[in-house]
Amino acid sequence: MPSLEEFCTITGTLAPRMVGNTPQGTRIDFGFEGVATSPHWEGERPVKGVDYATVRGDQNMDLDIRATIGEKRETVSYRGTGVSIVTSPTEARPQELLTFATGNADLAWLNTAVGVAIGGGKDGKIELTVYIVKD
């Protein structure tokens, strides 16, 4: 039976940019920057990316995420999709499915891993816990 293993925690600040009404819904690009901590490395690593969000008819958001953790040879790129459940005008609960790409030999196992990220965003801040699906 598959299980989840905690990979890292990401905390950051959001910088939303309204794109506007599109045929799919209202588009908002949420740039974000912050740090990731993990038992797989020492200290904090920078995180930077964009979450291309589309507000649906039910007021929740479809997510399309592109981001990186780390710098130089330690960079891990990740790509995600998911939904963010909007609980108030300034608060939401993102739920994401992630895949990874890295040239870092110590983290090369991520190239075949699937991740799940669950967290919360409030008042321009975000916190996510990323889990790896293990079988």
Burial group, residue 41, by CB count within 10 angstroms (0-12, 13-18, 19+): middle
The answer for residues whose C-beta is within 8 angstroms of residue 86's C-beta and 6 or more apart is 55, 59, 60, 61, 92
Cα–Cα distance for residue pair 14/29, rounded to 1 Å: 10
* pLDDT value at 135 more than 90: no
The pLDDT value given to residue 40 = 94
Q: Which domains does the chain have, with CATH numbers?
A: 3-134 (2.40.160.20)
* Cβ neighbours around 115 below 10 Å, total: 20
Q: Can you list the alpha helix ranges (DSSP code H) found in 2-104?
A: none
**pTM of the predicted protein model:** 0.94
pLDDT digits (tens, 9 = 90+) for 87-107: 999 999 999 999 999 999 999
